[in-house]
Chains A and B, each alone.
Chain A
Amino acid sequence: MIQGLRNGDENAFRFLVDTYQDRIFNTSLGIVQNAEDAEDVAQEVFIQVYKSIHSFKGESKLSTWMYRIATTRSLDLLRSRKSKKRSGLVQRLFGDGNEPIYEIPDFNHPGVTLDRKENAAKLFKAIAQLPENQKIAFTLHKLEDLSYQEVSETMQTSVAAVESLMHRAKLNLRKILEKEQG
């Protein structure tokens, strides 16, 4: 498939998209918590793969590389949302403040069963407040069911580091949820 992609073979590209679209979309969805944005990000991932397949050296699995691109692009989107939020606040302070500041609505992941939807929405709200690395590790492990080994390869860090990130993520999530509960 990789050679086909390098040759610009559309069938190879179609196969790639069919194979990985759900994984990439799901990963992005867990991070950006919005279906439209997640689809945009997923498209960008495949476009980047298409353009830079020649620079893929095969040192990691193709899926690892794609997860890495997906998490990076998702974080880029979150950062750009944050900066839009900040500029909206500045506008509010200094005059033209008629536009509402962008607020992330409650997020319902389609893969969550009905009986858990309410709790899952609370959890996603808490995940959104985690530091980036903890967010990535938690999302890849919980939503994509990647092992700590696979997460470490995606994040280009050690398994011990991933264990630490997960431990801190859970502690932070607990703190956030306790605060929300009052």
Chain B
Amino acid sequence: MENNRNNRIDEVLSSLDNVQRATAPDFFYTRLKARMEKELVAEPRKSWALRPIYILGVLLVVLAVNAAIIFKGSSSETSPSDTETMQSIASEYRINSNLTYEINE
């Protein structure tokens, strides 16, 4: 009984001995060429601008511009010497908060 079972399994295991190679379907080359024409034509449409290195470059430029704006903004706050200059100009022309009351009086 056991022998019969083993023999059957041996037959199954040897069922691929001397198997013939399967042949590729008819017109395989024709279909391959058609697929290549489709795929290789589609590929160049990918924009160079979408390459990661360019995206990274653009991001760096944006960050640099933002940083420059922020830096410039913080450096444009008036320094003490500027304040004194403005005050002296204001006093020269009597530009102060009292002026409006004088006008109204």
Contacts and interface: CB of A to CB of B under 8 A. Distances in A.
Given A119-B11, A174-B13, A29 B29 contact: no
Given A17-B32, A46-B32, A143-B16, A178 B21 contact: no
B100 interface: no
Q: State the main secondary structure of chain B at its contact with A.
A: helix
Given A26-B21, A120-B16, A181 B9 contact: yes
Contacts of B28: 17, 21, 25, 39, 42-43
A122 B24 contact: no
B20 A111 contact: yes
Interface residues of B, number: 23
Contact of B24 (A42, A47, A177): A42
Contacts of B94: none
Given A22-B22, A177-B9, A123 B16 contact: yes
A22 B9 CA distance: 29
Q: Which of B5, B20, B22, B36 has the most CB of A within 10 A?
A: B22
A71 to B, nearest CB: 16
Interface string A32-52: 000100010011001100100
Q: Which of B11, B29, B32 has the most CB of A within 10 A?
A: B32
Nearest to A38: B22
Interface in A151-182: 170, 173-174, 177-178, 181
Contacts of B11: 119
A14 B5 contact: no
Given A47-B36, A47-B39, A50-B36, A26 B15 contact: no
Contacts of A143: 16, 19, 21
Interface string B76-104: 00000000000000000000000000000
Contacts of A174: 9, 13
B25 interface: yes
Interface of A: 14, 17-18, 21-26, 29, 35, 39, 42-43, 46-47, 50, 109-112, 116, 119-120, 122-123, 126, 142-144, 170, 173-174, 177-178, 181
17 contacts: A17-B28, A21-B28, A26-B23, A35-B25, A39-B25, A42-B24, A42-B28, A109-B22, A110-B23, A112-B20, A119-B11, A120-B16, A120-B19, A122-B12, A174-B9, A177-B9, A181-B5
